[in-house]
């Protein structure tokens, strides 16, 4: 992960609604959730959810899959691992095992 990608991910997660959406998708796991399910669970208007999902998509923290007229969203754990790896890359002088 590059610095600009890390900044985009941190910025995306630095907003309450987007953090709630991401955490909800993490809990949903591999099944993901339809946009309507996310909206219902978090009591969000469709346009508000759409704007926030777009930011999370652009930050590489979620991905989606079209199912007919609906869209299912999933957390992108590979993107989150990339962010965590970037943040801890030089932990403990390059020996992160020593940080435990």
Per-residue pLDDT of the chain (100 residues; tens, 9 = 90+): 899 999 999 999 999 999 999 999 999 999 999 999 999 999 999 999 999 999 999 999 999 999 999 999 999 999 999 999 988 887 777 666 666 6
* CATH number of the domain where residue 18 is located: 1.10.10.10
What residues contact 78, with CB distance under 8 A and at least 6 apart? Answer: none
Per the structure, the count of domains in the chain is 1
Confidence (pTM): 0.88
Backbone dihedral angles phi then psi of residue 27, each to the nearest 5 degrees: -65, -40
User: Would you say residue 100 lies in a domain?
Assistant: no
Q: The domain containing residue 20 runs over which residues?
A: 3-89
Cβ atoms of 6 and 87 within 8 Å: the answer is: yes
Flag whether 39 is in a domain: yes
For residue 66, what pLDDT is reported? Answer: 96
* Amino acid 55: pLDDT: 97
């Amino acid at each position: 992960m590059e610095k600009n990608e890390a900044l985009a991910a941190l910025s995306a997660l630095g907003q309450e609604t987007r953090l709630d959406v991401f955490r909800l998708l993490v809990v949903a796991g591999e099944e993901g959730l339809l946009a309507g399910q996310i909206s219902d669970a978090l009591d969000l208007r469709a346009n508000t959810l759409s704007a926030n999902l777009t930011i999370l998509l652009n930050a590489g923290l979620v991905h989606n899959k079209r199912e007919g007229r609906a869209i299912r969203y999933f957390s992108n754990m590979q993107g989150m691992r990339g962010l965590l790896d970037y943040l801890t890359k030089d932990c403990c002088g390059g020996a992160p095992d020593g940080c435990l």
